[in-house]
Amino acid sequence: MPLNYAVSITPLLQMINVAHEVRHIAFADELSGAGRLVQLRSRWDNIVSHGPLLGYYPRADKSWLIVKPDLLVAAEEIFAGADVRISTDGHKYLGGYFGSEQGKNEYIRSLLERWSNQLRVLSDMRSMSLKQPTLPSCPDSVTDLPTISARFQIFNINCSRLTTSSTLNCFLQSRPAEIFPCKIVSYLRCQHFWESWHTHSLGYVCHGV
């Protein structure tokens, strides 16, 4: 986050921290709070009113209110007209997940599914590269796709704590010998798995060491 943006948003953070009944967390432009519904609605209205004047433009369509099932009706009434999305299951937050146990399990499952899909893309591209004599070749062990697949499945099970593509990418590049016998040097654009979000996630392409 640019320094000038961090400085300009500081007054807004100080303003919303006045509501001591709400617990606040701010990371870059990701603002969050926990408290009673009425207090949270007041906080949201303050951000909407004062944020744009200080360079912060909140988006209701990307904001989530996580509540207990028995508070869903009250939440819908209190946040009527705010266009904030409301969930009783939970939602991802800063690369992790906040919500019910079932939601967490589904989140982890989606991560593993995406990583497995990326491995299939990697395998397909490796097969294509073998048909191109001008491309640099990997060691013979790289062509053993079943071995790579087995290693990747073990990696999925042991490293489910890695919840972002960037973290996964750094991990793979720092320890390539433990995962793949080659270096990861470029990316593919793959379909993102977040529920209603769209960004670019990472796929992996191998070249010779």
The pLDDT of 161-186, averaged and rounded, is: 44
Q: How confident is the model at residue 122 (pLDDT cuts 50, 70, 90)?
A: confident
Task: Please name the residue that has the structure tokens 């961090």.
Answer: 6
Q: How confident is the model at residue 130 (pLDDT cuts 50, 70, 90)?
A: low
Q: Is the pLDDT of residue 196 over 70?
A: no
Instruction: Output 14 or 113, whichever has higher pLDDT.
Output: 113
Q: How confident is the model at residue 9 (pLDDT cuts 50, 70, 90)?
A: confident
Report the C-alpha gap between 186 and 42 in whole angstroms.
Answer: 46
- Structure confidence at residue 136 (pLDDT): 44
Report the C-alpha gap between 49 and 158 in whole angstroms.
Answer: 46
Amino acid identity at 6: A
- Structure confidence at residue 1 (pLDDT): 55
Give the tokens for residue 98.
Answer: 């906040």
- Beta-strand runs (E) in 38-178: 64-66, 85-87, 90-93, 96-99
- Structure confidence at residue 189 (pLDDT): 30
Torsional class of 99: left (φ above 0), alpha (ψ -120 to 50), beta (otherwise): left
Model confidence pLDDT, tens digit, residues 20-57: 678 877 777 788 888 888 888 888 888 888 888 887 88
The pLDDT of 82-90, averaged and rounded, is: 87
Confidence (pTM): 0.51
**pLDDT, averaged across the chain:** 67
> SS3 sequence, 5-57?
HHHHHHHHHHHHCCCCCCEEEEECCEEEEECCHHHHHHHHHHHHHHCHHHCCC
Amino acid identity at 144: D
- Structure confidence at residue 55 (pLDDT): 79
Model confidence pLDDT, tens digit, residues 133-163: 444 444 444 444 455 555 545 444 444 444 4
Q: How confident is the model at residue 61 (pLDDT cuts 50, 70, 90)?
A: confident
